[in-house]
Chain A
């Protein structure tokens, strides 16, 4: 998506001529963030297609296999050599496959061939492969209770799949949420029929058959118990795709290392998006990727290009909220019904398929240390939870869940580094809305 955005901006700046876009995926460029809606069957795959401006040459379904820096050309898997003056790596990230017993059938063949019924959830191809299997009554295990796992579980459940969400940590989305917020999220998922298991480490796949015919039958967890499944979706995070850069001798740590000009250590080669590491950070979120694409487009379109002497902007990093909107089936008309969490922690919904929506925002450090101040507003009857963590008069983290009316204020304060209001409780109060 960083690459698509870059091309879009270059075109808007009148600088897209002479650009070649090499893309491994055969599909029109799409918005990856919307794949859970495709998987859930809420909309058709073409709905997630992104604009493809005129101007550049597009090589789709073509994989770049090598960068020939001496010759300034990219070598493709179809034998093409694409020469460049400037090269931008926007190779993104790929789903991490956890070290599960039985995951890889034949050792030593490079990319592991997964058993039938095992599929990550990252690309359109993943989505198109999973969707036809996601039928009512089908049993699925989603391995990983982070952002991606929660989205996958929600999407599958909305198709009537009986989902077990296995989270190794003590609560869902433990990188983003505190236990109380995670409990509300858990209650929401459970209300949709998802069985959430925390502290549950999946250590192996149960597989029948062999070779090409291997198919998954379930998972085995660390405590030795077994869960039958027709589908297993590993959702254990993503890893920057840096192989091309590393093989070309560019500096790679977690991601491809870039400076404030988004340049690698070869000044003709840039990297943006999930594959890039800037000031030690790999963002892995769409917002920063977009920021980087926008900035690089301005740099490349500047007089003399990014290496020119004109004033070109620098990238100083992005601070963004992690946002998650879990949307139900098509809402059509009528009011959405929110889940209400009862005092005992169980949750009920007002009816089947009412298309309730669950909104969540989180950022920074959400666990308050002993010296920190914590402001917290919790309304269990509405499934709403709001919290900020303050340290030395600064905002260091926060969670909004169920009631996002304050998200604008919080985002402004966090992203813009704005000073705190005299009464920090205003951080959690609303910005407009209903009369």
Chain B
């Protein structure tokens, strides 16, 4: 057993919990010389004995000094090395054999040649915009940056977006509108227990980011109150002092109703509104139109509970609103988040210590992934692609003509929906839309209609299985790179073990493809070199990383952006753990109220589809399950999909616990066992979305898009239920 460990971070969610990896000594059988250090392991032999194939090459050790999780990890993090084992992952490139139609092993040269040729041929025949790139919120900053550069500078296509669009884009858009800047949390997590009241809206950290739950527990131990807004009684809601259970899709009305009460109860912070905001009269009028009894009718939340929530929020000396996917994954997600921000602004709960609005980002690098150029409308440093100065800056770093940079492209769902039509070849990295996209059957069909698909992934995901070329890439423990967690803290993952011999890093893949497409240089394979270029590209942008170095990240347990380079003569910029304390990032320094009104969901229940469906996660699985469904311990804890429904509804349709239930929406049908529980409203069913096949929740979900963020409406659609025949 090794005594040398490597500090790194969990491969999963946006907390980016600190962990240590202890590489295992290579198995005894014939490999006695394998050393303990990362470098030694990197030279591990290509041929491992059968018993070693299933064994993870490293084990997780606690890292108590990292502030975000203080050593704590959830089951996913603890078992993460299992996915490193060769038994469950890709260990060499695959290409689709023209004769058999099967994926067959191929050399890297063949796989990269075919990919480059597939992309180039499509560009030639159908134009550059017909080549698409789809990225992921789990990619490191370096990968996200170079993927964006690959799309814009090499492929010169506007058709790039990423699955982060499905994650936090509504919060990002609302952040931009109100504060002029988008960073998930404007403060570190450690501020949460020091606040007086936190309203968690559509967030279930007890299941989705368990190590963060302690911040809310400490909040309550310190005398603060926790209000949870969720249609379901989740494990998080069980911790709350007050649990509001709105009808799905009505969080916007709920926030307006609270703002209404703030006004009529005389709880507006007039000095803050006058001194630090603009647009209040219009926002107030919008709230006036949402009187409490109307809000009760829309949401089903009793007015007395609404009043109680306002009392808890306003009586506390400081308070926060934190949203997650519940309010955000709606066709009105941007306005919904805006309504919660308005509540914060009207009560002076923003831009002050231990107060403010924040978004609990979901994916590991949901934050950094959107800042550095994967998003359809953005360039590195959170620059706008339609801003001439931004184009000029980035073009100079890349050594291209600004005029050659494409303009903004389609958002994620629109990009997926254009496949096989406007976009005919796709390079997909770190995403599994066959499981994770809304209206997934339709998206699967669109993917199948592509002329060419290449997928870079760690495992043979459901999407990779449909590709023409599959490029096996290294995992978190096998390569170095930075991630930006939900606090805006840039952290450093370090390579602890070597990838299997047939596996390359994403940076090597991009380097190889770029070289084949005429870019011999400009795509470094060394992560730190890529980061140095990213620093220059981000310099002066809203998400300025230019003052951040690998060394500083290591020494300071992460650095919060913005952190501009100050030059050698000055002291280094300390980074920015807390935003907006002096001014907001708008041109006039004031936060902007945006007047918003409630509107129904794109699809409300009716006679044909009388029940709401909402979707979400369970603790032991992560996103599309591509990684976690390959870990025995996690599968034992969460073996498959289910339909959570209220006993009243179960009685109505005639199903008992465990019976298969068919759930049908206008888009398709899914079947999963009934899990009967009073934790869900009688008018609503819940399905987790981690699985493919018959129980795929996203077969049912509605791709109606938010007009601003282009976020699909994952969190609410109309379905009908019936017992299904037992398989």
Contacts and interface: CB of A to CB of B under 8 A. Distances in A.
A351 interface: no
A34 B263 CA distance: 11
Contacts of B681: 431
A47 B288 contact: yes
Contact of B266 (A330, A406, A407, A419): A330
A213 interface: no
B219 to A, nearest CB: 14
A64 B557 CA distance: 70
Interface size of B as a range: 35 or more
Interface stretch (A48-56, A194-202, A257-265, A387-395): A48-56
Interface in A344-363: 357, 359
Contacts of B597: 8, 12, 51
Interface string B496-507: 000000000000
Interface string A404-426: 11111101100110110110001
Interface string A49-77: 11110000000000000000000000000
A133 interface: no
A14 B636 CA distance: 53
A418 B240 contact: no
Interface stretch (A106-114, A318-326, A375-383): A318-326
A42 B267 CA distance: 11
A408 B266 CA distance: 27
B524 interface: no
A422 B651 CA distance: 8
A434 B242 contact: yes
Contacts of A37: 264
Given A42-B264, A404-B302, A411 B288 contact: no
Interface in A265-280: none
Given A12-B599, A408-B302, A47 B263 contact: yes
B297 A287 contact: yes
Contact of B304 (A48, A331, A405, A411): A405
Interface stretch (B155-163, B279-287, B710-718): B279-287
Contact of B263 (A43, A286, A325, A434): A43
Contacts of A43: 263-264, 266
A432 B291 contact: no
Nearest to B241: A435
A432 B648 contact: no
Contacts of B264: 34, 37, 42-43, 47, 327
A323 B296 contact: yes
B589 interface: no
Contact of B243 (A30, A49, A435): A435
A209 B266 CA distance: 42
A433 B297 contact: no
A234 B59 CA distance: 80
Nearest to A415: B297
A431 B245 contact: yes
A359 B304 CA distance: 8
Contact of A49 (B240, B285, B292, B305): B285
Given A8-B289, A31-B289, A432 B233 contact: yes
Contacts of A4: 289
Interface string B302-346: 111101000100010000000000000000000000000000000
Interface string A304-336: 000000000000000011010101001111011
Contacts of A122: none
B300 interface: yes
Nearest to A5: B289
A51 B595 contact: yes
A320 B383 CA distance: 49
Most buried by B among A8, A330, A419, A431: A431
A265 to B, nearest CB: 29
A432 B266 contact: no
B284 A47 contact: yes
Given A12-B599, A51-B282, A426-B648, A412 B303 contact: no
B238 interface: yes
A331 B265 contact: yes
A405 B288 contact: no
B297 A320 contact: yes
A33 interface: yes
B100 interface: no
A185 B240 CA distance: 32
A357 B289 contact: no
B201 interface: no
A176 interface: no
B455 interface: no
Contacts of B240: 435
Contact of B285 (A51, A357, A405, A422): A51
A80 B237 CA distance: 59
A420 B299 CA distance: 20
A119 interface: no
Contact of B648 (A320, A321, A422, A435): A422
A320 B296 CA distance: 11
Contacts of A327: 264-265
A168 interface: no
B270 to A, nearest CB: 12
Contact of A287 (B294, B300, B307, B652): B294
Contacts of A434: 241-243
Nearest to A30: B288
Residue from A31, A37, A287, A426 whose CB has the most chain B CB atoms within 10 Å: A31
B520 interface: no
A154 interface: no
B683 interface: yes
Interface string B228-254: 000001000111111111000000000
Contacts of B305: 405, 432-433
Contact of A435 (B238, B599, B652, B682): B238
A331 B307 CA distance: 11
B298 to A, nearest CB: 10
B293 interface: yes
B301 interface: yes
Given A50-B288, A325-B292, A332-B266, 15 more contacts: A4-B289, A37-B264, A42-B266, A47-B284, A49-B284, A49-B285, A51-B286, A51-B595, A287-B293, A405-B305, A407-B303, A408-B300, A411-B297, A415-B297, A435-B241
10 contacts: A47-B263, A51-B286, A51-B289, A331-B265, A404-B302, A404-B303, A408-B301, A408-B302, A421-B648, A431-B681
Interface of A: 4-5, 8, 12, 30-31, 33-34, 37, 42-43, 47-52, 286-287, 290, 320-321, 323, 325, 327, 330-333, 335-336, 357, 359, 403-409, 411-412, 415-416, 418-419, 421-422, 426, 431-435
**Top 4 A-B residue pairs of the complex, sorted by shortest distance between their CB atoms:** A408-B300, A432-B245, A323-B293, A404-B302
